[in-house]
Amino acid sequence: MNSDSRPSPDLPEGLHPDTLAVRVTVPRSQYGEHSEALYLSSCFVQPDSETSAHRFANPSEGYTYTRTGNPTVTAFERRLAALEGAESAIATASGMSAILLLGLGLLKSGDHVICSQSMFGSTMKMFGTDFAKFGVETTFVSQTNAAAWQAAVRPNTRLLFAETPTNPLTEVCDIAALAAIAHSAGALLAVDNCFATPILQRPLQLGADLVIHSGTKFLDGQGRVMAGAICGSSKYVDQIFAPLIRSAGMVLSPFNAWVVTKGLETLSLRVKAQSANALQLAKWLEQHPAIDRVFYPGLPSHPQHELAMAQQSGIGGAIIAFSVRGNSPEQARARAFHVIDSARICSIATNLGDVKTLISHPASTSHGRLSEEQRQAAGVVQGLIRLAVGLEHVPDIQADLARGLDTCASVA
Ligand SMILES: *Cc1c(COP(=O)(O)O)cnc(C)c1O
């Protein structure tokens, strides 16, 4: 949302994303602050009634009320849009409210959606249950099998929604192939770019129409605030989503926008460093006898390793999933709990993208609300552990995991 009548700061064309990440913002105030200002204000004083009337009728021409636009929120939207190579972006209160806004804006009763069967749990629930209440039908297909997406297309298919890599199994889909399927069906492709971030992957360049973000994850990067966004062409973002959020109201608070805008300044450094740590840990986990399987796109053993490397700038990302061995689902779960509970550095928490390493048990947390059948289809087994790797010294995290892994066999 470009709710700012003043010209954009005078940046030259063709800048590298690393430069955009620290430089794109709204114009400075009259005081010339160097760090971005935080406009923590719910409304804006109007110079006169005529101007007020004009701005209420044309929200992009001046700020009036923070639900319809706020300069700190605009700063975040512009910076994120620049990183995604998008014409525009709209900020939302959380990642899930971005998905809600997407559905409210694009779908109507009788429409059909195709999604991966292995995605973030709340996203699956939103499409499978919440949008279903309004007469929108969703078909869930295998993330990695483009032919299955193609086969699910119907005349009323309006949207394909993919997350890549997926949460928690890091399954990768071919964004360009799904874009081609969507477009030949007259549908749109939206990609949740939460795991890769624009540092590793820019879905719009690969043909996606819209990018969804949970700013709560890597974009903030220090586990402080909730945030979300939709990025894409002005046709959708400014013409459909912006007018809708002004009445629907799930806007990003200016304070959270300020935090996440500052987060974007270090995104590139953090994502690359955390991914390098994750690759080292994934290699080590893969040879540990207590572990059944490691899911990490940067490992040659990952089923979509080559696609992931081509699509993600040659970097696997900072999330690893691994399953511990067990003779039954109950034993595998007990052993997974043992590994998690033996950690003294890794936080038992279900966020990701934080500079502090987080460890979680997806089957009982992020995917706990799914039915056992949905969990099976998503491959979220009871022995599965998700590790969202941070910036700690790798041998320290390795020792923290080894404490539980080395003693797993003692868990009946
Ligand atoms: C966390 C997450 C979301 C939801 O974002 P919130 O900010 O928690 O609402 C959506 N997609 C993925 C892949 C996520 O990890």
pLDDT tens figures, 108-148: 999 999 999 888 889 999 999 999 999 999 999 999 999 99
Sheet strands (E) in 331-372: 347-348, 358-360
**Rounded CA gap, 276 and 141, in Å?**
31
**Rounded CA gap, 351 and 219, in Å?**
12
pLDDT > 60? residue 2: no
Question: Residues of 236-260 as b/e, b for ≥16 C-beta within 10 angstroms?
Answer: bbbebbbeebbebebbbbbebbbbb
pLDDT > 50? residue 390: yes
Under the banding of pLDDT at 50, 70 and 90, the label for residue 55 is very high
Level-2 CATH architecture, domain 268-410:
Alpha-Beta Complex (3.90)
pLDDT > 70? residue 379: yes
Tens digit of pLDDT for each residue in 263-301? Answer: 999 999 999 999 999 999 999 999 999 999 999 999 999
Q: For ligand 1, what atom is nearest to the CA of residue 97?
A: 9
**Rounded CA gap, 174 and 400, in Å?**
35
Specify the residue with its C-alpha closest to ligand 1, atom 6.
95
Specify the residue with its C-alpha closest to ligand 1, atom 4.
95
Level-2 CATH architecture, domain 17-264:
3-Layer(aba) Sandwich (3.40)
In short, whether 214's Cβ falls inside 6 Å of ligand 1 is: yes
Mean pLDDT of 386-397: 98
**Rounded CA gap, 340 and 324, in Å?**
11
Q: For ligand 1, what atom is nearest to the CA of residue 226?
A: 7
How far is ligand 1, taken at its centre, from the CA of residue 93, in Å?
A: 11
Instruction: Output the pLDDT for position 189.
Output: 98
Q: Would you put residue 348 in left (φ > 0), alpha (ψ -120 to 50) or beta?
A: beta
- The DSSP output letter for 327 is S
Q: For ligand 1, what atom is nearest to the CA of residue 163?
A: 13
* End-to-end CA separation in angstroms for the chain: 56
In short, whether 216's Cβ falls inside 6 Å of ligand 1 is: yes
**Rounded CA gap, 120 and 98, in Å?**
14
Nearest to 350 by CA among 366, 367, 334, 369: 366
In short, whether 350's Cβ falls inside 6 Å of ligand 1 is: no
In short, whether 164's Cβ falls inside 6 Å of ligand 1 is: no
How far is ligand 1, taken at its centre, from the CA of residue 226, in Å?
A: 9
In short, whether 123's Cβ falls inside 6 Å of ligand 1 is: yes
Q: Given ligand 1 and candidates 76, 94, 119, 120, which is best to mutate, with the most ligand atoms within 8 Å of its CB?
A: 120
Range 362-370, long-range pairs (CB < 8 A, 24+ positions): 362/121, 362/167, 362/168, 362/321, 362/386, 363/333, 364/333, 366/120, 366/121, 366/122, 366/167, 366/168, 367/121, 367/168, 368/121, 369/121, 369/122, 369/125, 370/121, 370/124, 370/125
In short, whether 307's Cβ falls inside 6 Å of ligand 1 is: no
pTM exceeding the 0.85 threshold for the entire prediction: yes
Instruction: Output the pLDDT for position 297.
Output: 98
In short, whether 120's Cβ falls inside 6 Å of ligand 1 is: yes
In short, whether 77's Cβ falls inside 6 Å of ligand 1 is: no
In short, whether 192's Cβ falls inside 6 Å of ligand 1 is: yes
For residue 295, the surrounding DSSP H or E stretch is: strand 291-295
Mean pLDDT of 389-410: 97
In short, whether 228's Cβ falls inside 6 Å of ligand 1 is: yes
In short, whether 194's Cβ falls inside 6 Å of ligand 1 is: yes
- Is there a contact between 103 and 161 (Cβ–Cβ < 8 Å)? no
pLDDT > 70? residue 6: no
In short, whether 76's Cβ falls inside 6 Å of ligand 1 is: no
Kindly report, as residue ranges, where domains of CATH 3.90.1150.10 are found in the chain.
268-410
In short, whether 353's Cβ falls inside 6 Å of ligand 1 is: no
Q: What are phi and psi of 192, to 5 degrees?
A: -80, 110
Kindly report, as residue ranges, where domains of CATH 3.40.640.10 are found in the chain.
17-264
- Is there a contact between 241 and 105 (Cβ–Cβ < 8 Å)? yes
Tens digit of pLDDT for each residue in 182-228? Answer: 999 999 999 999 999 999 999 999 999 999 999 999 999 999 999 99
How far is ligand 1, taken at its centre, from the CA of residue 103, in Å?
A: 15
Q: Which residue has the tokens 């709209």?
A: 90
Instruction: Output the pLDDT for position 9.
Output: 57
pLDDT > 90? residue 165: yes
Mean pLDDT of 234-246: 97
Q: For ligand 1, what atom is nearest to the CA of residue 119?
A: 13
Q: Given ligand 1 and candidates 94, 127, 194, which is best to mutate, with the most ligand atoms within 8 Å of its CB?
A: 194
How far is ligand 1, taken at its centre, from the CA of residue 98, in Å?
A: 9
In short, whether 167's Cβ falls inside 6 Å of ligand 1 is: yes
Average pLDDT over all residues of the chain: 95
pLDDT > 60? residue 1: no
